[in-house]
């Protein structure tokens, strides 16, 4: 081999080297529709920065995300707006499972009515979903809305048909304010509803409410905003009727005592200015993931999402995480390397 041929061969090898290292890494996840507007933005922006990392996410509901990640093992990470319970963690086929908060959001009651500007107490919402309050001009709704002329129309209830962290947050709040609701329906990502129509995902609930006169439902705030559906303030423990916003959702988290595993409920918190149906949304990940390349990719993405990625939260209706919580999480995320 001549020196010129050797040099050409060396240059070709150098030019080909980046291609070998730029092999696409495909990571799959599944879970809540609650986080989907923010997550899809994150995955797009992260792919722009790292073209060889492809994150594919199925927006199928928190129940499906928990099942696919922890039991069926068909995805590399899960996502949920309601933390896994001890039984679910015990039945998981991969252990340990980490719950890592990604953002804060609010679940809002939405309605389709000729009257606007309604507000609700938790007790009234609980009795609507128990099937006790069936007309819009019921005395309970009138008590929440003094001076408002309510129509004598039946209430058409819409709820989630799939396993849902949005449902978990909704029923967690209603169970705290109504012992009867707690006894008859309880808390979970899937519950047995005594009345109403089921919609798949936040999108399905928003769509049903939008097309059904007299309907009431519950969705994550961004879905109400995107679909231009009326949503109502909800009475908090301080007796205030509070609208969901970045500030009021953040206020709900401000007093929370967050345990080591981050599984915490922040519904119906104490204090003024707090929106009572607020929640963290968590990614489910595990240091036991067998594919080290994918695990490293999830680690790197989470570091970005918890730091630079938080800047995208506000524009999509989510409250960024408190810095103290982010600093704490980053230490735990390091376990995924």
What tens digit of pLDDT does each residue of 47-97 get? 999 999 999 999 999 999 999 999 999 999 999 988 999 999 999 999 999
Interval 285-295: pLDDT, tens: 999 999 999 99
pLDDT at 22: 60
What class has domain 106-245? alpha beta
DSSP state of 322: P
DSSP state of 162: S
pLDDT band at 23 (very low <50, low <70, confident <90, very high): confident
77 burial (CB, 10 Å; 0-12 / 13-18 / 19+) is buried
Question: Over 50: is that where the pLDDT of 9 sits?
Answer: no
Identify the H or E element spanning 27.
strand 25-31
Question: Over 90: is that where the pLDDT of 120 sits?
Answer: yes
User: Picking from 13-17, 34-38, 206-210, which range would have the lowest pLDDT averaged per residue?
Assistant: 13-17
Same fold, 26-104+279-336 and 106-245: yes
Identify the H or E element spanning 285.
strand 278-285
Question: Over 90: is that where the pLDDT of 336 sits?
Answer: yes
Alpha helices in 284-322 (DSSP H): 292-306
What class has domain 26-104+279-336? alpha beta
More confidently predicted of 141 and 163 = 141
Q: What is the pTM of this model?
A: 0.88
Paired tokens of 152: 């004598």
pLDDT band at 3 (very low <50, low <70, confident <90, very high): very low
Residue 96, preceding peptide bond in cis (omega within 30° of 0): yes
149 burial (CB, 10 Å; 0-12 / 13-18 / 19+) is exposed
Nearest-CA neighbor of 83 among 65, 95, 71, 68? 65
- Please state the rounded mean pLDDT for residues 181-189: 96
DSSP state of 70: I
- Please state the rounded mean pLDDT for residues 150-154: 97
The full set of domain ranges for the chain reads 26-104+279-336, 106-245
- Please state the rounded mean pLDDT for residues 314-324: 91
């Amino acid at each position: 081999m001549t020196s010129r041929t050797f040099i050409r061969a060396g240059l070709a090898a150098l030019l080909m080297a980046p291609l070998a290292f730029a092999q696409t890494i495909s990571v799959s996840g599944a879970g809540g529709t609650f986080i989907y507007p923010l997550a899809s933005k994150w995955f797009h922006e992260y792919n722009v920065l790292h073209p060889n990392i492809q994150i594919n996410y199925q927006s199928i509901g928190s129940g499906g995300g928990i099942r696919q990640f922890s039991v069926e093992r068909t995805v590399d990470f899960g996502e949920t707006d309601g933390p896994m319970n001890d039984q679910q963690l015990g039945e998981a086929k991969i252990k340990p499972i980490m719950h890592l908060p990604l953002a804060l959001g609010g679940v809002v009651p939405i309605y389709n009515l000729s009257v606007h500007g309604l507000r609700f107490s938790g007790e009234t919402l609980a009795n609507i979903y128990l099937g006790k309050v069936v007309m819009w001009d019921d005395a309970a709704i009138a008590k929440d809305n003094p001076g408002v002329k309510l129509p004598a129309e039946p209430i058409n209830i819409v709820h989630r048909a799939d396993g849902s962290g949005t449902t978990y947050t909704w029923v967690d709040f209603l169970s705290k304010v109504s012992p009867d609701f707690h006894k008859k329906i309880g808390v979970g990502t899937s519950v047995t509803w005594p009345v109403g129509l089921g919609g798949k995902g936040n999108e399905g609930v928003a769509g049903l409410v939008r097309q059904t006169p007299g309907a009431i439902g519950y969705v994550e705030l961004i879905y109400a905003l995107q679909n231009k559906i009326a949503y109502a303030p909800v009475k908090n423990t301080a007796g205030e009727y509070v609208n969901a916003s970045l500030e009021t959702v953040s206020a709900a988290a401000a007093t929370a005592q967050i345990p080591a595993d981050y599984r915490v409920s922040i519904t119906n918190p104490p204090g003024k200015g707090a929106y009572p149906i607020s929640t963290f949304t968590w990614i489910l990940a595990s240091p036991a993931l067998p594919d080290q390349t994918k695990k490293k990719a999830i680690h790197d993405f989470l570091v970005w999402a918890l730091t630079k990625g938080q800047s995208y939260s506000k524009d999509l209706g989510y409250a960024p995480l408190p810095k103290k919580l982010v600093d704490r999480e980053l230490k735990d995320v390091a376990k995924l390397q």
